[in-house]
Amino acid sequence: MKVELIAYSRLNHRPFVNPLAIVEEAASACYDSVPSDEYNIAKRCVGSGHMSVLEHIGFTFHISEVSRALLAQLTRHRHASYTVRSQRYCDEANFDYVLPPSVEGLYNQENWYRNAMNQCAKAYSDLTELGVIANEDARMVLPNACHTELYVTMNARALIETGYERLCSRAQWEIRELFKRMQVEVDTVCPKVAEWMVPKCEKHADHPFCTERKSCGRHPKLSEVYKK
């Protein structure tokens, strides 16, 4: 998996400051206040749950060597823009694929898995090389594990709120790893937004609780907090 932050929002008159300066300037209009270099207004808004101010800043990532299964999960989050490698137009012969940790290093299981991938690759090549069908139809035999490449842009609010779900221990391992790496990238330019990217059980840092039906046990379930 490769994740790279390639672009993010900047102020025209202060292009080298933290993107949170945009949020601070916008939020200050709500209260007829003077923007703070410590981003106090923005922090208070987020602390009070007023997340809309974070929609003024966005982040664009280049993501590669992830599975089409991950893509299916990621695009369920609507408040984002996606541009994805096309299996209709691109030649996927000799495609690479994601190897799940559950089979990696286990001799029989890994061999069976790799054999299954090889069979899919052969079926795809047979269909396209013989001119039987076009790529757009041959792709039907490609597995969910097949690598893909995409660009995704999310505003800070969408990034944080998607992180609530995808950084959760109950999330599937690949998309959880993706958001961890996105968090690391964001931290290089906007540490506060990266800090706000947490699993939903830690959304309220001083009062953590789990809302999942099957908890990982990291924090008490809501029913345990209220003893019901």
Cα pseudo-dihedral 91, 92, 95, 97, rounded to 10: 140
Query: Do residues 8 and 189 make contact, with C-beta atoms less than 8 angstroms apart?
Result: yes
Question: Which whole-number Å values give the CA distances from 172 to 99, 101, 137, 160, in the listed order?
Answer: 14, 11, 29, 18
166 catalytic per annotation: yes
Selection from 158, 160, 167 nearest residue 192 by Cα:
160
Query: How big is the CA angle at 135 (ends 130 and 137), to the nearest 5 degrees?
Result: 100
Bridge partner residues of 64 (DSSP):
2, 149
Contact 181, 201 (CB under 8 A): no
Catalytic residue (one of 68, 139, 157, 166): 166
Active site residues: 166
